[in-house]
Amino acid sequence: EKIKTPLKLVLAGGSSYTDEYACSLRQHASDRIVFLDWLSGDELSEVLTNAALFVLPSDIEGLSLALLDAMGAGICVLTSDTPENKEAIADTGFTFNAGDGCDLQRMLTVLLSDSRLREAVGKTGQERVRQHFLWDGVVRELAQIYGTLVTPEKRPSVIPLTEEQHDTLRLLRPKAPIAR
C-alpha cells in the first residue's frame, strides 16, 4: 500500500503463518493484491512470465526452488539476506535485511522504478541458473571435481598379488567349462 505503482502484488504459495494472519492480509487487500495457492506447471509459468519482480521474504527456507524457478525464468529477484539466498543469487539479484520492512520497501521502490535494471539482472540470474543449477551443469561440475580428484598421479597404484593369492584365485576358477 505504501509503494506507488500500477503493478499488482501477487502472493503465491502456502504459508507458515496462521489462518488468522492470512485472513488479516485478505481484509487489508485491495484490488492490487492477488492471493494464489501453490502453483506449478503452466500456472506457474504464466505467473512468472508476467512478473516484473520476484520477492522472497522468507528467512526460514533453505535453498528455495521458487527462487530458482524465478531466476530460471529471467525474473529479477529480491530476497531476504539469508546465507542460502545470498549463495543462490550471488551477484545476480538483490537482497534486503531480513525482517526489516523499511529496507524491503526501499528496495522495492528502487527496483520497481527501473525496468531496465530488472531486465538486465533477470538475464544474469537466468544464466546463473543455467550454469549452476540445471542437471547438465551440475553433472558437468561434478565430473570436473571428480576429474581433479582422480588424476594419474592420484590414482591408486595396482598392488601385485602374492603367490598365495594367485593360488587362491586358481582354486576358484572352474577346471572345466560349466555345462549349460
Q: Does a structural domain hold residue 161? A: no
Q: Does a structural domain hold residue 102? A: yes
- Which residue has 501453490 as its cell numbers? 38
Length of the chain measured in residues: 180
Q: Does a structural domain hold residue 38? A: yes
pLDDT at 112: 93
- Greatest Cα pair distance in the chain: 88
Q: Does a structural domain hold residue 173? A: no
Q: Does a structural domain hold residue 97? A: yes
CATH code of 63's domain: 3.40.50.2000
Cell for 107? 528496495
| Helix 65-72, helix 115-132: angle, nearest 10 | 110
- Which residue has 492470512 as its cell numbers? 22
Cell for 132? 549452476
pLDDT at 174: 56
pLDDT at 151: 64
Of 39, 59, 57, 60, nearest to 48 (Cα)?
39
pLDDT at 18: 56
Of 76, 56, 80, 79, nearest to 129 (Cα)?
76
Domain hosting residue 60, numbered range: 9-138
Across the chain, which has 180 residues, the per-10-residue mean pLDDT values are 79 67 70 80 88 90 90 96 95 95 94 95 95 82 79 63 72 55
Q: Does a structural domain hold residue 52? A: yes
**Cβ neighbours of residue 15 under 8 Å, at least 6 residues apart?**
21, 22
pLDDT at 180: 44
pTM of the model: 0.71
Q: Number of structural domains, the chain?
A: 1
Q: Does a structural domain hold residue 76? A: yes
Q: Does a structural domain hold residue 25? A: yes
Dihedral, CA atoms, 78, 82, 85, 88, nearest 10 degrees? Answer: 140
pLDDT at 136: 79
Inter-residue contact 140 to 86 (CB < 8 Å): no
Cell for 163? 603367490
